Amino acid sequence: MEERAKRTAWFQQARFGLFVHWGLYAIPARGEWVRSRERIGVEEYERYFREFDPGAFDPRDWARRARAAGMEYAVMTAKHHDGFCLFDSKLTDYKSTNTPCGRDLVREFAEAMRAEGIRVGLYYSLLDWHHPDYPKYADPYHPMRGNPAFEKEKINFDRYLAYLHGQVEELVTGYGQLDILWFDFSYDSLRGEAWKATELIDLVRRHQPDVIIDNRLEASGEGFGSIVSETPAYFAGDFASPEQIIPPEGIRDALGRPVPWELCVTMNNNWGYCAADRDYKPASLLVRKLTECVSKGGNMILNVGPDAEGRFPEESCRVLEGIGRWMEKNARSIRGCGYAELPKPEWGRYTRNGGRLYAHVLEAPIGPLALTGLRKSQVGSVRLLSDGSEVLCGDSWNTGAYGDIPFVSLDSVRGLSRSWTDYDDIVLEIRLKGEE
């Protein structure tokens, strides 16, 4: 537990990161699971390998956009389920350096992010639909599942595991200091030691003792594995990774201790580029969800699926810019913050960093705003975080019946008194007496 706390200290300060899902599947542009959903064979999928040449790929642009959005770390898919590698692996020919692209995209990504001061993480799929020794016929996800041609096939899964471990060693030895190693994912009987997980973690820790690892050597997006048990397995990971759902009350282990966690979430409905999917979440909603994660002691990693040319979609850029405008003024209520240890107020949420409490006002009040969960004697100064302007005490003739609950007057903040639509996330910084 102590080692995990040391490794994840920066992670629980950062709170907000970028996920990038990118690969050959950007060319058919029907999402990252296109091979599985459409049961595309290796030969048919090979045409995308022969075409892959993202002429607009500029990881420096990605990094600048992530930094402007207030993101502190970024994770890219070094290899997704289709087995295609965006790095120059010596263990396969199925890699970006053998396509018309001819570039080690992971190396360029890592260098660009570090140049912007953004911590670097790499995603690696435990699944591999291209490797000949990965299960096919009886596997629930493989594109060739149920295909009679593979019913009698003999595979050597140990040979696949040697390949998996070898590629992970390439990543943790060839790309500088990694901050996150994001495995994906375990299912059915393929969990834990089925991946030779103890050996794999030993390998990783030998080369990168400080890298933090997710919990998916045991679990997938809907579960947690033993990280929430009283005695986690050696390979349980450093943080839980709920997918497309915010835990109702955060995540704690069997003894009630907080567990580091990170919501992974898409902007639309796909991780990889899907040209027809225009169902993008607005920046205001994603700001609220980021706030919710932090208020429950968690992080949020927000995905972008670049197109086949390597560009961030225009819609994704607009969302990032919108989040960035809010973060530019309010990041202090996110970075370094976590549980407030107060009941959730009806008008929004609290986050907290030491003696500073942040009231995220998501709904305009009628009259003065009640700072529920606090006593009047606890409240020092109250300021609007975006510009530092004073927010006055709201005690008046109609608040006397509510005892020791402190009230503040949003009418005292210029421009907020009747601008009900402005309440996407107004943040008040409350300095607590005696806790600075």
Please, which residues have CB within 8 angstroms of residue 427's CB and are 6 or more apart in sequence? 330, 333, 358, 359, 360, 361, 384, 385, 386
One domain, residues 25 and 170: yes
Same domain assignment for residues 403 and 287: no
Asked if residue 327 has pLDDT above 90, the reply is yes
Range of the domain at 165: 2-333
Domain boundary among 306, 333, 360: 333
Other Cβ atoms less than 10 A from the Cβ of 426: the count is 24
Residue 425: per-residue pLDDT: 81
Which residue from 49, 42, 60 is spatially nearest to 26, judged by alpha carbons? 49
CA distances from 68 to 12, 64, 317, 409 (A): 20, 6, 11, 32
Does some domain include residue 339?
no
Q: What is the pLDDT of residues 335-372, one digit of tens each?
A: 999 999 999 999 999 999 999 999 999 988 889 999 99
End position of a domain, from candidates 308, 333, 358: 333
- Residue 185, preceding peptide bond in cis (omega within 30° of 0): yes
Give residue-wise pLDDT tens across range 147-166.
999 999 999 999 999 999 99
Give me the pLDDT at residue 266, please: 98
Whether the pLDDT of residue 422 is over 80: the answer is no
State residue 416's pLDDT score.
59
Pair (6, 100) in one structural domain: yes
**Same domain as 381, residue 259:** no
Q: What is the mean pLDDT of residues 245-272?
A: 97
Please report whether residue 286 resides in a domain. Answer: yes
- Asked if the structure places residue 342 within a domain, the reply is no
* Same domain, yes or no: 20 and 93: yes
pTM equals 0.96
Q: Is the domain of 321 the same as that of 352?
A: no
One domain for residues 260 and 381: no
How many structural domains is the chain composed of?
A: 2
- Last residue of some domain: 333, 356, 380? 333
State yes or no: pLDDT of 146 exceeds 60: yes
- What integer is the mean pLDDT of 398-410? 94
189-214 average pLDDT score: 98
In-domain check, residue 343: no
266 and 380 in a single domain? The answer is no
Residue 352 lies in a domain: yes
Residues 362 and 259 occupy one common structural domain: no
Both 154 and 242 in a single domain?
A: yes
pLDDT (tens digit per residue) in 62-86: 999 999 999 999 999 999 999 999 9
CATH of the domain at 406: 2.60.40.1180
User: Residue 415: what pLDDT?
Assistant: 56
Quote the pLDDT of residue 414: 60
pLDDT > 90 fraction of the chain, expressed in percent and rounded: 93
What CATH number is given to the structural domain containing 73?
Answer: 3.20.20.80
